[in-house]
């Protein structure tokens, strides 16, 4: 039996989680026999890279994003199309057509903004139609599509997401530091955090014991790993592979020209 102390920065966690999601039997089956639908989001972009085997501009995979101390949205012209694969190849139709065909043997992957202590997850939605989750939720939950939510423990919150959903909404706030949004629970999602990732990839236990940092380690998660010698050696190699994963470039530029600048208070001296 071995024990290790590991600290992961947010990009390192994203890479670890991405590798674990792709390694899941259900995902591998869907890649060979059915649909894998990857909605936009930074962690999802890492998953796309792992599946495609090539680097992509992950920064452009953001739509709604928390950046520069604000909840905001990236320019619409930069929004990518959701990546939909059928039997491992790009699906030729529109994403909505794939949703109509998907079922329990297919996989829908969507990142989130919060995971509570009961491992319930939720995602921000700022568009009146509910954004990605609003447009896909009905299809995935009613048809029993396997929904996977890759999410780092940097997003662990003490407040139950069910309660958070009741106190948020795009018309619920009188002021704030960014674009107003609702927190929407995804009750049928299976979250994959660093804990599940180490179990999937190396069959070792990962126990979160600390979080945060400074000097480039902000948002980090610190874990104790425990397992048999052989499994822990595998965990060590995986950790070596992901350590040093670079941070993404700034998500937003020219904030003053953004159509939401007035709402955010940019340039007004409010914040």
Q: Supply φ then ψ for residue 83, to 5 degrees.
A: -85, 115
pLDDT attached to residue 257: 59
pLDDT attached to residue 252: 57
Q: Cα(102)–Cα(125) distance, rounded to whole angstroms? A: 23
> Cα 49 vs. chain centroid, distance in angstroms?
14
Residues of the chain with pLDDT under 50: 267-271
pLDDT attached to residue 213: 94
162-218: pLDDT as tens digits: 999 999 999 999 988 888 999 999 999 999 999 999 999 999 999 999 999 999 899
pLDDT attached to residue 261: 57
Domain presence at residue 200: yes
Domain presence at residue 255: yes
pLDDT attached to residue 63: 81
Q: Cα(248)–Cα(15) distance, rounded to whole angstroms? A: 12
Domain presence at residue 270: no
218 CB-side CA count, 13 A:
4
User: Number of structural domains, the chain?
Assistant: 1
184-194: pLDDT as tens digits: 999 999 999 99
pTM value? 0.92
Determine the angle formed by the axes of helices 194-202 and 229-242, rounding to 10 degrees. 120
Domain presence at residue 57: yes
pLDDT attached to residue 269: 40
Q: Range of 15's domain?
A: 2-263
Domain presence at residue 269: no
pLDDT attached to residue 267: 44
pLDDT attached to residue 67: 80
Domain presence at residue 271: no
Domain presence at residue 18: yes
Domain presence at residue 87: yes
């Amino acid at each position: 039996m071995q024990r290790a102390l590991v600290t992961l920065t947010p990009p390192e966690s994203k890479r670890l989680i991405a590798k674990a999601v792709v390694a899941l039997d259900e995902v591998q089956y869907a890649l060979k026999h059915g649909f894998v639908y990857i909605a936009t989001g930074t962690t999802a972009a890492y998953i796309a890279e792992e599946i495609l085997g090539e680097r992509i501009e992950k920064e452009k995979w953001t739509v709604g994003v928390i950046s520069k101390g604000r909840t905001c949205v990236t320019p619409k012209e930069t929004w990518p199309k959701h990546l939909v694969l059928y039997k491992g190849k790009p699906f030729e139709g529109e994403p909505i057509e794939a949703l109509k065909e998907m079922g329990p043997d297919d996989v829908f992957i969507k990142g989130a903004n919060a995971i509570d202590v009961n491992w319930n997850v939720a995602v921000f939605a700022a568009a009146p139609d509910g954004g990605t989750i609003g447009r896909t939720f009905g299809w995935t939950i009613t048809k029993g599509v396997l929904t996977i939510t890759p999410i780092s423990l940097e997003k662990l919150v003490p407040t139950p997401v069910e309660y958070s959903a009741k106190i948020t909404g795009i018309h619920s706030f009188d002021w704030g530091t960014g674009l107003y949004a609702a927190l929407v629970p995804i009750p049928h999602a299976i979250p994959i955090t660093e804990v599940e990732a180490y179990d999937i990839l190396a069959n070792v236990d990962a126990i979160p014991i600390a979080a945060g940092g400074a000097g480039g380690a902000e948002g980090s998660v610190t874990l104790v790993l425990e397992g048999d010698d052989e499994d822990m050696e595998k965990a060590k190699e995986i950790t070596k592979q992901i350590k040093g994963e670079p941070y993404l470039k700034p998500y937003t530029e020219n904030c003053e020209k953004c159509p939401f600048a007035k709402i955010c208070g940019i340039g007004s001296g409010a914040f």
